[in-house]
A and B are shown apart, each in its own frame.
Chain A
Amino acid sequence: MLLTLLALTAIAIILLRDLWSSVMLSGIFSLVSASLFMVMDAVDVAFTEAAVGAGVSTVLMLGTLAITPKHEKNADRFQEVALLVVCVTGGALIYGTLDMPLYGDPDAPIHQGEPASRYIDRSPEEIGVPNMVTSLLASYRGYDTLGETTVIFTAGIGVLLLIGRSKTQSGK
């Protein structure tokens, strides 16, 4: 049901020419994805997706719309090569997922053995934090999180370099 809503929203975003409606629909897309993550019991991820996707991202897109034209230009002709590339890539991806274990299968390889079982068994006494997502993110895989923080830092620097400071600051 939620996946159907997701697909319908995506189709609507593609077919619409009015950019304001597309931005609103992309906010809805993020909110439906957040609900999907909630249904899958991934609460931390759903929280982040709702905050970033349905919140900040929509505001930033609306801010961009204030300085760009409000309607998408019509494509001049039908692009056959693009359609072929998209179909081949999509077909290859779907073919790849045929081999994956079913969602929620307890015999899936990722649930067996190290390191997943070690994290689940030993996290309460090694780290002592009730939320296992935090203990994985911050302690067992803390180096990855350092990398993620650096990526966010780089994104901020990139935006400041590309768009520049606001007029009130640069006037000083």
Chain B
Amino acid sequence: MSREILKVENLSMRFGGLLAVNGVALTVKEKQVVALIGPNGAGKTTVFNCLTGFYKPSGGSIQLDGQAIEGLPGHEIARKGVVRTFQNVRLFKDMTAVENLLIAQHRHLNTNFLAGLFKTPAFRKSEQEAMEFAAYWLDKVNLTEFANRTAGTLAYGQQRRLEIARCMMTRPRILMLDEPAAGLNPKETEDLKALISMLREEHNVTVLLIEHDMKLVMSISDHIVVINQGTPLADGTPEQIRDNPEVIKAYLGEA
């Protein structure tokens, strides 16, 4: 049995009088792919925002490797290795693809002011390595030929892949994908599936994703959590979820 890496208990998020998330629990084990599904407005993205520090949860606990991370600012959670993509792609549109990847490595670069000013060997080396690491991942997501194009001019599917590559630049432990397949054609969805498996197999990344494409979710996930109107509805393996009458009623619909 692999280790639990992320443990969420009794998470709740209140906006004024609205209880958007109430009592959600979630356990993610290392190298698992866990999917969070539910109807529109169920609070999936809110859960994501709580986990990545964009919202301060109103209650409950979030533990990363047994360490409480709830309420930490977003950039600190990202530094602990929890990195996310966004539902509507958020690339730096006026920068080239490779620059997008360089920015994500900011923390691992030589940011010494004087070193950069006088281009010391250490500075050149660190920039060179960053470039190589970026090139490696551009190749992994098949974007090498677009490396020097500005991100905003890339096709939608390419932007999605670039965003995932950008996350990988930060050497994450948990990758959180918010509707990664939205707007992709069937071929691209297949590629995405292969990419996620590759991340897990070769790079030891744990994946937590929100997705509406049931075919993708069912085929890729080890574990599925269903939430409805902010409250947990069910959780289990894909087979259990597929046959759960309540889930069918609330979300999947009768076949």
- Asked if chains A and B come from one complex, the reply is no
Chain B positions within 8 Å of A, measured between CB atoms, are none
